[in-house]
Chains A and B, each alone.
Chain A
């Protein structure tokens, strides 16, 4: 966002330091660049589609957008992970690893929000989604599984039962049964137990995604199945094998049995979902809070942690999500994360799902806009990401424009390309003030570096008459000193912009005079030259030069100036010299000589032209 500079008043001479402090450091992390760029594209797509399909229900599309955001996070995580393992610097490595865990946490949270808010999964599918969510985010299982399966005798592996247990805990029945079958073949004596357990697991009713059964049907089936499991347990069917007995207890949703496998589940939210799977698979969204809520008699968090440790920020955020406290989720995320990327994009998406009530803040009409403004402002201190910020401001209806106006003027314009880029953005949005200001700055810069042509074209673009006059004067001064013009192309092609300032017009016309002279179109050149003085386009200070320019025309073999014109020229010369005081007149010898030469040339011309004009044709 902004950089704050603090100066310190020191007593000692040793450290007169100034500290530079900055917020939003994250935008400078190279590997996150992809995150910002790609999410920008997704953001824009979402805004545009909203405009096109305004009002129509589009849940599926919003879910897709959410998935897109998540895949960007995952891609970034992958890059970051690669960077972490390939670097050799321990400091960098730890930084990358930290980033990976932060990104992973962000994806975890976003995924849950997608299930609960964007998709708003109803009872039934809700549990299935939550199961997917848990399976996706507890990765250690795969390693264990691989280890066990690749061993010679899987059922003898020390981790065998761990793997079976975790499959059961995650509701992965088929995989659990597959493994158990290996145990069955290895231990024919427990064949009967295995068959019963396998059967129970096969028959377990699960919510379906389609409309094949209603919730009530499902609940009924589940009740029967639950009772059947209960019977087997009470009959002592599994009494001789503690592992299988524990699995049966889990199937029955026995909390203690599930909690015993704490180490395998690793998190309280895994525990929450497992509980739900085996005690209340048809849980409704609004009932989740009772299972999650800290301090509640049946709180998953409390049961899991058992009072040993306190919840961490991630836990608080997930808790708020389970409780459907969207504003709380956003608030907690804002506090926990070091930049606004996550909350800005998530809130925008939730706003499109029409889930946020208007929450009037001083800065920004609502939460969405407030967060987007903060995020975009942060982008502006970056040398290239600022361009993304422009689009975000465009989609903030209340303050976006004024924020853009304030920020865009502060982008350093070190190259012409950058200046042109910024200008284009301003022009597209009719930010005339900013256009003018930027053009003026560029003109001033060019002038200081003696690039008169560039300065002139910038001041024309800025429609800055005063500056154009200044630069024209410089051009003319240069001409007087060096006898030639720089940037001829520019001056020759001024066109209507010549009229911006009188001096500029003069410059253009004067150059035209030179061109005409060069093309030997003397009569026209002469006419133009005279007009420049008589129409007062030329500044008085320049008349001497103009008259001197007339000399070669007067000395031509052919008579160019008419009598009338010659009289005019003489008048101009008198006007010029009469104005000077006595002491000025004879100070400059050069000057006096010139005046004398002019007088002579004019007189001679007059003589010739009178004769010429007085002569009849043919005689």
Chain B
């Protein structure tokens, strides 16, 4: 059973587009059409506003927390074509980097697994995907994939860091050879999988099943199985679960989770990838789990709020 335990009154003056818990579930970052990004301390059911970040000139679509080993870092992207990376230094939050390399609204940002370093993927309505890598000393290196999706890219999601042959113990100290991959969803109704080869990003797979714009993609965390799983949701009201059984990542097969009556905006996996949270315009958040016979069943329903539910994240929260 799922119950509402807390309501955070964010005092945002307009629609909230995203709400993300940090790694430990102690902080909440929200962003809104009122152009601000707010950070709250939500320990013990409280809600203390820690920061109100201004810097965007348009609605802010998404926020993403980086891994705590890099410090307290938050990325945000907005309609104003900018991606801003914020960092907490000496107790105050400041802009540490601003990227303006897109020609149109940036719709999604996602940090790569910490094993790869500090890398941010950004998807934009200009159809391109940028990869910003922190190289040290306040410097960021940019790689761009132009025309990743025709019309625009709506979502990006990284694959978990899994070393090929990861069942074998790596000698400590050696840097393993990761194959970096991420998934993107766009206005061309496609979900694409990108792979880095020799420093270049190439399109590895094209997943076709949706009949309208793909709104969100989420690559499930790895629990050590050789299978990979991606969830995608679309304007067409459908949510698909894609699985790939072989390690080389060649054959992906979709399974329809459910067809909803309205746009599905977001999908998000729990830490151990056994629960998928789905939110949509039908004003509901639903949680789904795979049953014994491979069918997905809805395990609960959280029906709150007036207007569509636009963002969902699964995180772990800890009582302090």
Determine the chain B residues whose CB is within 8 A of the CB of A383 once the complex forms. 318-320
CB distance from B85 to the nearest CB of A (A): 16
Q: Which residue of B lies closest to A384 (CB)?
A: B319
CB distance from A146 to the nearest CB of B (A): 40
- Sort A-B residue pairs by CB-CB distance and give the 7 closest, nearest first: A8-B305, A7-B19, A412-B24, A3-B317, A20-B6, A7-B311, A440-B69
Determine the chain A residues whose CB is within 8 A of the CB of B320 once the complex forms. 383, 412, 414
Question: Taking the complex as formed, is A352 at the interface, i.e. its CB lies under 8 A from any CB of chain B?
Answer: no
Mask for B282-319, Cβ within 8 A of A = 1, else 0? 00010100101010000000101111111111111111
A16 contacts which of B3, B9, B221, B224 (Cβ < 8 Å)? Answer: B9
Question: Taking the complex as formed, is A94 at the interface, i.e. its CB lies under 8 A from any CB of chain B?
Answer: no
Q: A21-B285, A412-B24 are in contact. Are A444 and B70 (CB under 8 A)?
A: yes
Question: Taking the complex as formed, is B172 at the interface, i.e. its CB lies under 8 A from any CB of chain A?
Answer: yes
Docked Cα-Cα span, A15 to B224, in Å, equals 42
Q: A21-B4, A406-B223, A444-B70 are in contact. Are A7 and B318 (CB under 8 A)?
A: no
Question: Taking the complex as formed, is B48 at the interface, i.e. its CB lies under 8 A from any CB of chain A?
Answer: no
B319 contacts which of A28, A363, A401, A445 (Cβ < 8 Å)? Answer: A28
Which B1-60 residues have a C-beta within 8 angstroms of A?
A: 1-21, 23-26, 28, 30, 32, 42
Which A436-460 residues have a C-beta within 8 angstroms of B?
A: 437, 440-441, 444-445, 448
A441 contacts which of B68, B310, B317 (Cβ < 8 Å)? Answer: B68
Contact indicator B306/A8 (Cβ below 8 Å): yes
Contact indicator A10/B306 (Cβ below 8 Å): yes
Q: List 7 A-B contacts (CB under 8 A).
A: A2-B314, A5-B19, A6-B19, A7-B18, A407-B316, A412-B320, A444-B69
Determine the chain B residues whose CB is within 8 A of the CB of A338 once the complex forms. 1
Determine the chain B residues whose CB is within 8 A of the CB of A441 once the complex forms. 68-69
Q: By the criterion of a CB under 8 Å from any partner CB, how many residues of chain A are at the interface? A: 56
Contact indicator A20/B312 (Cβ below 8 Å): no
Docked Cα-Cα span, A15 to B10, in Å, equals 8
Determine the chain A residues whose CB is within 8 A of the CB of B18 once the complex forms. 7
Contact indicator A4/B172 (Cβ below 8 Å): no
Contact indicator B19/A399 (Cβ below 8 Å): no
Contact indicator A403/B272 (Cβ below 8 Å): yes
- Using CB atoms and an 8 Å cutoff, list the residues of chain A in contact with chain B: 1-13, 15-23, 25, 28, 338, 359-363, 373, 377, 380-383, 386, 399, 401-403, 406-407, 409-412, 414, 432, 437, 440-441, 444-445, 448, 463
Q: By the criterion of a CB under 8 Å from any partner CB, how many residues of chain B are at the interface? A: 75
CB distance from A509 to the nearest CB of B (A): 23
B318 contacts which of A5, A13, A382 (Cβ < 8 Å)? Answer: A382
Docked Cα-Cα span, A5 to B29, in Å, equals 11
Determine the chain B residues whose CB is within 8 A of the CB of A463 once the complex forms. 172-173
Question: Taking the complex as formed, is B71 at the interface, i.e. its CB lies under 8 A from any CB of chain A?
Answer: yes
Mask for B182-201, Cβ within 8 A of A = 1, else 0? 00000000000000000000
Q: A5-B313, A9-B308 are in contact. Are A19 and B7 (CB under 8 A)?
A: yes
Contact indicator B285/A4 (Cβ below 8 Å): yes
Q: A2-B316, A381-B319 are in contact. Are A406 and B275 (CB under 8 A)?
A: no
Contact indicator A13/B13 (Cβ below 8 Å): yes
Q: Which residue of B lies closest to A442 (CB)?
A: B69
Determine the chain A residues whose CB is within 8 A of the CB of B317 once the complex forms. 2-3, 20, 22, 381
- Given A21-B3, A401-B224, 12 other A-B contacts at CB below 8 A? A4-B312, A4-B315, A5-B19, A8-B16, A9-B307, A9-B308, A9-B309, A18-B8, A20-B8, A22-B5, A381-B316, A410-B271
Docked Cα-Cα span, A407 to B290, in Å, equals 20
Q: Which residue of B lies closest to A360 (CB)?
A: B292
Docked Cα-Cα span, A15 to B32, in Å, equals 13
Docked Cα-Cα span, A454 to B68, in Å, equals 17
Q: A411-B24, A414-B320, A432-B172 are in contact. Are A9 and B17 (CB under 8 A)?
A: yes
Determine the chain A residues whose CB is within 8 A of the CB of B271 once the complex forms. 2, 406-407, 410
Q: Which residue of B lies closest to A443 (CB)?
A: B69
Question: Taking the complex as formed, is B90 at the interface, i.e. its CB lies under 8 A from any CB of chain A?
Answer: yes
B306 contacts which of A1, A11, A444 (Cβ < 8 Å)? Answer: A11
CB distance from B70 to the nearest CB of A (A): 7
B11 contacts which of A11, A16, A25 (Cβ < 8 Å)? Answer: A16
Determine the chain B residues whose CB is within 8 A of the CB of A401 once the complex forms. 224
Which B62-104 residues have a C-beta within 8 angstroms of A?
A: 67-71, 88-90
Contact indicator A3/B315 (Cβ below 8 Å): yes
A21 contacts which of B5, B10, B17 (Cβ < 8 Å)? Answer: B5
Determine the chain A residues whose CB is within 8 A of the CB of B274 once the complex forms. 363
Contact indicator A6/B285 (Cβ below 8 Å): yes
Docked Cα-Cα span, A407 to B274, in Å, equals 13
Question: Taking the complex as formed, is B143 at the interface, i.e. its CB lies under 8 A from any CB of chain A?
Answer: no
Docked Cα-Cα span, A23 to B301, in Å, equals 12
Determine the chain A residues whose CB is within 8 A of the CB of B90 once the complex forms. 448
Docked Cα-Cα span, A12 to B26, in Å, equals 28
Question: Taking the complex as formed, is B259 at the interface, i.e. its CB lies under 8 A from any CB of chain A?
Answer: no
Q: Which residue of B lies closest to A337 (CB)?
A: B1
Question: Taking the complex as formed, is B279 at the interface, i.e. its CB lies under 8 A from any CB of chain A?
Answer: yes
Docked Cα-Cα span, A570 to B24, in Å, equals 56
Docked Cα-Cα span, A432 to B115, in Å, equals 13
CB distance from B299 to the nearest CB of A (A): 9
Q: Which residue of B lies closest to A439 (CB)?
A: B69
B312 contacts which of A7, A15, A25, A363 (Cβ < 8 Å)? Answer: A7
Docked Cα-Cα span, A382 to B318, in Å, equals 6
